[in-house]
Amino acid sequence: MIKTLAVVGATGAVGQIVLDEINRQGLAYNTLKLLASQRSAGTTVQVAGQGGLQVELLRPEAFDGVDLVIASTPDEVAADFIPGAVERGAVVVDESAYFRMDPRVPLVIPEVNAGAAAMHQGIIASPNCSTTQMVVALKPLRDAAGLKRVVVSTYQAVSGAGQAAQQELLANTEARLRNAAGQATVFQHDIAMNLIPQIGSHKEHGFTSEEMKMVRETHKIFGDDSIAINATCVRVPVMIGHSESIYCETEEPLELEQIKELFRSAAGVTLVDDLANRSYPMPRDCADKPDVFVGRVRRDLTNPCGVNFWCVSDNLRKGAATNAVQIAKLLAEQAVCAK
């Protein structure tokens, strides 16, 4: 059991789901501390089994005596406070992007590379939401037949850009229905009734930062830079739930029923695949659920090693809060953070 658990960013959208996931997953602790910025410090948050807890100010002294931290903050905040928390003896599960590609920091999805967690030096990173669901779905195929190539197109919900993005979608949709123009503040263009084929900033060779995250994080999680990965990331006017169209090539051919059985038996994956009865994963149906959902499974018509499938997951759950709490529970069970 964890003696003292701290949740940083407890009043944010993901932080609230972290608290729900702690309860749902049964992560055991003796004492819970909620930490946030000056703006939220002093507020009271309802926590299952704890009643109302007052949020403390995020500052170095707040980590004295803390064993484990689950942090959901912007990159710059993570860079500022996490080293100090580790110096005070805490192990930090970080949901920001700041430490993900640091070679000293394991990038962990418990269903995929749980063993990497034991290699931490005080920090464990949780991957990008779009990477997480893809890698969870690819793992059973890779384990069974190897993996040579991945081509993925994402259809990412606005909640991936925060609460302000959700409000912008709602406001701009209402404006469009009145034949008025929407204001693009969070996104590069008005997202209402629209698609924006850019998530993140421009990077090398015309790819965006989000697309390159999927490439580099997948290589790190699988420990294999030889996998050819090509990503196109698109923002869509959906509130919650990232969808991905994935084509992959395995090293050995698999029969269609083998592929489906691999998905059925994979940890963290739910297969929903009955085209004749119009049954397949959709973001609205998958919202508020912790699994990665897979459907529309097909073999390539011309390549015996090619597999096509559709993948949907709640980006705030498995893409963020659920995975972070799973890592924390893994640490508790392995007694990695025991004093």
Cα 109 to its chain centre, rounded Å, is: 9
Contact (CB, 8 A) for 77 and 100: no
Q: Which residues are catalytic?
A: 129, 242
Residue 285 makes CB contacts below 8 A (sequence gap 6+) with: 293
Nearest-angstrom CA–CA distance, 109 and 327? 7
* Residue 92: strand pairing partners: 69, 123
Nearest-angstrom CA–CA distance, 53 and 47? 7
Contact (CB, 8 A) for 82 and 201: no
Contact (CB, 8 A) for 15 and 7: yes
Output b/e per residue, 41-68; b: 16+ Cβ within 10 A: beeebebeeeeebebbebeeebbeebbb
> In the numeric block, which tokens belong to residue 332?
């508790």
